[in-house]
Amino acid sequence: MDSNLGEVAKTNTVLLTGGTGYIGSHVAVELAMSGHSVVLLDNLSNSRASVVDRIAQITCKPVQFIRLDMLDYEGLCAVFEQYNFDGVIHLAGMKAVGESVEKPLEYYRNNVGATINLARCCCKYNVVNIVFSSSATVYGTNANMPLCEDNDTGCVNPYGWTKLMSEQILRDVARSRKDCNIALLRYFNPIGAHSSGLIGECPNDIPSNLAPYVLKVASGQLPYVRVFGNDYDTVDGTGVRDYIHVVDLAKGHINALDKLNTNCGLVTYNLGRGKGYSVLEVIAAFERACGRKIPYKFVQRRAGDIAICYASVDKAREQLGWQAQYDIDQMAIDGWKWQQYYVKNLFNE
Ligand code: NAD
Ligand code: UD1
């Protein structure tokens, strides 16, 4: 275990796993800004240590970070020994769908293993409030739009199964321990970045998701966007998804923590905007944001894609008092700001 803490006094605080990642860094900012004390935990397999300083720069507060692989159960126990966590937000995991098809065992081992170790520690150290980052992917090919939390689930790739299995594990933990409160948050398509431009998504390889790919084209690192199919039954023939600003998504975690404090047991919420945008509408928003043409070409549909996917957000609005605020233009503006910072300052880090 590698920590920047040394010996610290026990304080009430939130453990944020995957805390240096794309979504985790934004959740860390929102936690700090809403008065929570937070400990970030990450093995840095898909993120950089420098983000810790950038989170501190945004929040003007010191940030505690522990470098640890969650598969190291003894190490995780040591972290729980060190603090009195009053809640855990579990985001650590591998998230590339294509890679999960090539390396299924790595995905099951890492994602399901991390969830089991975390749940074991929570039970052992009586940490009863847990927020888990699930995904709209658990709805599989369900075509009932908008997707509601009680719709059928089912997955089409190992990544999705790791999310559904983790949900089931946590559901069973909640059944076995009546004092346990767990929020399963099903994210739709988070894009954009913090308005400071200091944190955002930085994929190691060529991105497979639309927004980071568009940003690489916009900044001249890739020649054109491949639009996967223009013959879907949608507004312009291209795929429609429920994009949500990552800051809105991050804020949803604070509402979820508040909900857990009401002793609600196990709860499930979609975090989306409840509105779909097509691939061409997304490209147009990024063109407006960066003030230049973004070249694209239509290519074959991507295997496993569905035409349209968007959330029902009624339950989160009614029960969490949470609703996304930012529109697609703000997502593009903030994403572009971050991309410029990244190219200038972090590209060769
Ligand atoms: P990310 O890769 O940026 O962040 C995940 C972090 O987890 C990384 O920093 C990585 O180093 C860390 N990690 C992975 N395995 C670990 C382990 N064994 N021990 C400790 N740290 C480990 O991804 P993200 O986009 O921020 O996603 C966060 C979570 O949200 C993931 O669980 C992901 O599956 C889920 N999610 C993401 C999206 C999305 O579109 N980004 C959508 C739905 C769900
Ligand atoms: C994908 C995953 C999903 C995961 C989510 C977040 C698949 C099939 N689904 O969702 O499980 O939870 O990412 O990590 O991989 N597109 C292009 N060109 C590109 C990239 C994407 O046209 O280069 C299109 C897609 O066809 C889709 C839309 O853009 O219509 C969004 O794609 P993407 O960003 O990959 O997200 P999802 O497919 O919704």
For the CA of 45, the nearest ligand: 1
Domain spans of the chain, in order of start: 11-193+243-272
Which residues line ligand 1 at a C-beta cut-off of 6 Å?
18, 20-24, 42-47, 69-71, 91-95, 110, 114, 133, 135, 187, 189-190
Architecture of domain 11-193+243-272: 3-Layer(aba) Sandwich (3.40)
Kindly report the length of the chain: 349
Whole-prediction pTM: 0.96
Determine the pLDDT at residue 2.
57
Over range 36-50, report the average pLDDT.
96
CA neighbor of 242 nearest in space, from 286, 275, 291: 275
Whether pLDDT at 149 is above 60: yes
For the CA of 99, the nearest ligand: 2
DSSP-derived pairing of the beta strands 129-135 and 181-187 = parallel
305, 308, 309: which to mutate for ligand 2, most atoms within 8 A of CB? Answer: 305
Q: What are phi and psi of 167, to 5 degrees?
A: -60, -45
142 alpha carbon to ligand 2 midpoint, in Å? 16
Q: Which atom of ligand 2 is nearest to the CA of 159?
A: 11
Alpha-carbon distance of 122 to 79, in angstroms, equals: 11
pLDDT by residue (tens digit) across 216-274? 999 999 999 999 999 999 999 999 999 999 999 999 999 999 999 999 999 999 999 99
Look-up: residue for tokens 């769908």?
97
Determine the pLDDT at residue 271.
98
Alpha-carbon distance of 215 to 225, in angstroms, equals: 9
Q: Which atom of ligand 2 is nearest to the CA of 228?
A: 22
Residue 163 token pair: 């999310």
For the CA of 27, the nearest ligand: 1
Query: Is 90 touching ligand 2 by the criterion CB < 6 Å?
Result: no
Query: Is 209 touching ligand 2 by the criterion CB < 6 Å?
Result: yes
Determine the pLDDT at residue 3.
53
73, 95, 157: which to mutate for ligand 1, most atoms within 8 A of CB? Answer: 95
77 alpha carbon to ligand 2 midpoint, in Å? 36
Mean confidence (pLDDT) of the chain: 94
CA distances (Å), origin 105, targets 113, 182, 198: 11, 26, 34
When pLDDT is cut at 50, 70 and 90, the band that residue 165 belongs to is very high
Determine the pLDDT at residue 258.
96
Whether pLDDT at 6 is above 70: no
pLDDT by residue (tens digit) across 68-103? 999 999 999 999 999 999 999 999 999 999 899 999
Over range 199-227, report the average pLDDT.
92
Residues labelled catalytic: 159
Query: Is 226 touching ligand 2 by the criterion CB < 6 Å?
Result: yes
6 alpha carbon to ligand 1 midpoint, in Å? 26
Determine the pLDDT at residue 1.
58
Q: Would you state the torsion angle of the CA atoms of residues 145, 151, 152, 155, taken in this order, to the nearest 10 degrees? A: 60
When pLDDT is cut at 50, 70 and 90, the band that residue 12 belongs to is low
Q: Would you state the torsion angle of the CA atoms of residues 72, 101, 311, 231, taken in this order, to the nearest 10 degrees? A: 160
Q: What is the chain's percent helix, strand, coil content, to nearest 5?
A: 40, 20, 40
Q: ∠58-272-281 over CA atoms, to 5°?
A: 90
Q: Is 72 exposed, middle or buried (0-12, 13-18, 19+ CB in 10 A)?
A: middle
Determine the pLDDT at residue 293.
97
Query: Does the CA dihedral 271-341-39-73 come out positive or negative?
Result: positive
